[in-house]
A and B are shown apart, each in its own frame.
Chain A
């Protein structure tokens, strides 16, 4: 039972780091290859704020998220939006380029050494029935649930959410009824970047980050999003939990050295059986 519990905790972190990717794909239909690097940028920015202000990292992740979101908005609006309408491939290529630029800038600014964000709870654990539960992963799981609830409410219960959903379902019709697609896409991209900043902060609190570490997290996020359902917010939470549990239980049953074989093997099976993911129809937000 312990590996399942540990997997659920890890899955919460995976879901948090994948939410932004899912949101962008679901609304803009854009595969953001720079998503992992945005996670890293968020972590580095929060760590800088921690050094400068000395407050709690979780608290400082909020202004960091606002800053990253503010940078992401014009990036989407003026750089990526023109490419989105041009072709499906162009924005993928552009986000790959953005990924390379971000990694290079982070290397120049922070060197290749890994960096952590430290707090009293980053290496602490809570023991329940003899099981050590890492405090930072408990926080990540809670953050995942809160973010899913908030994003779900935003998309389903607000006027802006209805505009976003209309833009996702039929961009042409949405434009005809007066929805500003460029602005809507940019806001969604900014929200995704802000959520990624919180995810990156949680990574640095639980493990560590480095300038090129985003690629590893991007692969995990893709797996979570595909398993959970492309573009499904609630499915992303479910996908994260599944990947976490499969990874944790798989490590015990067949050995941690086969972690990637197990996780990506599950991904292939899901793609073959349900190309749109496990939860797309049931819980799509």
Chain B
């Protein structure tokens, strides 16, 4: 290797590092907008979450900019939300989180929804030491991604342990024989939820008389539905993806199986679910995070603004509300920090304690802010509140499930 070539390598490295440093501080100039990054599932199976979160995030950013921006080091600066589409893939979300910070100059990140996407982003955020606020990600699953605890990531959503109480609390509002048939798929949450429901049923005075497990993408529910029907279960709790939920309901209808209550978790939280299955889902229940009458801050304002876009007062609208709240928490923390220092922003997020459209947010020592899951029943295009966050009855439950009649 001659002398010129020997010199060329360190010079190239220095230039590259310099270029990275320049592009990585685009939020650092006093006139530049403050960049907030978000990698979202705008396409792919989780698209509904991604588009709703983007709407909520942008709403919060627009409000801050309309008020003049955030005051950093004594100067008001506008905020720019930079979004990339991860196509519902965790590895892409991880790459994009790094790109948003290192190349786009994001000083903080907003999360992508669900553990398979949120955990890779949280890992990247901790490695890069970038404050990140996650939502639409059940807390126990998210915590499981970092046994030693997250350092720069925060999650605001419901806790699965509380959520798996709500099915039994809601079932108590209807006269049943307290016999339960569980239908759980073999995705991680299906296994976890199935175990929680099986463990908790006796505590609430319920008996699991059938526990049907099946791979994701199941179409043939014939034998499982027949077994559940013959077991006499008047309560069905299912943890299934939307297509499998349709197949399950169609098989129940075909076999003339009309339980008193059917909880269709995960599948039932797709915005337009009631319209998917020819009315079969009408009257099914699902744990939820937002509904008319939930009593949170600015509830009616968001219903008026977004129920038409969401196709009703449903989980998609709830995701917009949670996206707005997550972004609001982050923007307030940047404002409270008064600088773009990552540690200062992180410490300000940790001190969050207030009422937001998603509910009362107060992070614990593990960076989680558990918000109460509620139970809702599909009525037309709306998910109607039937059990509030305290476990008390709200609107009456229509039973047996009308769609299966």
Residues on A lying within 8 angstroms of B by beta carbon are: 2-3, 6, 10, 104, 107-108, 111-116, 118, 122-125, 132, 134-135, 206-210, 212-213, 216, 247-248, 251-252, 255-257, 259-260
Contacts and interface: CB of A to CB of B under 8 A. Distances in A.
B278 A123 contact: yes
Interface in B209-235: 212-215, 217-220, 222-224, 226
Interface stretch (B42-50, B66-74, B109-117, B355-363): B42-50
A251 B220 contact: yes
A251 B219 CA distance: 12
Given A207-B247, A256-B214, 15 more contacts: A6-B223, A111-B47, A111-B48, A112-B44, A113-B270, A113-B272, A113-B273, A114-B242, A123-B253, A132-B255, A135-B254, A209-B243, A257-B186, A257-B215, A259-B215
Interface residues of B, number: 39
Contacts of B213: 255-257
A210 B215 contact: no
Interface of B: 43-48, 88, 186, 212-215, 217-220, 222-224, 226, 242-243, 246-247, 249-251, 253-256, 270-273, 276-278, 280
16 contacts: A112-B43, A116-B278, A118-B277, A118-B278, A123-B254, A132-B255, A132-B256, A207-B250, A209-B243, A210-B45, A216-B217, A251-B220, A251-B223, A256-B223, A257-B186, A257-B213
B255 A125 contact: yes
Contacts of A207: 219, 243, 246-247, 250
A114 B253 contact: no
B254 A104 contact: no
A122 B276 contact: no
A116 B220 contact: no
Contacts of B223: 3, 6, 248, 251-252, 256
A256 B254 contact: no
A260 B271 CA distance: 30
Nearest to B404: A123
B212 A256 contact: yes
A82 B405 CA distance: 55
A213 to B, nearest CB: 6
Contacts of A6: 220, 222-223
A8 B107 CA distance: 59
B277 A116 contact: yes
A104 B214 CA distance: 28
A112 B41 CA distance: 11
B246 A251 contact: no
Nearest to B46: A112
Contact of A208 (B214, B242, B254, B272): B242
B242 A113 contact: yes
Contacts of A247: 220
Contacts of B215: 256-257, 259-260
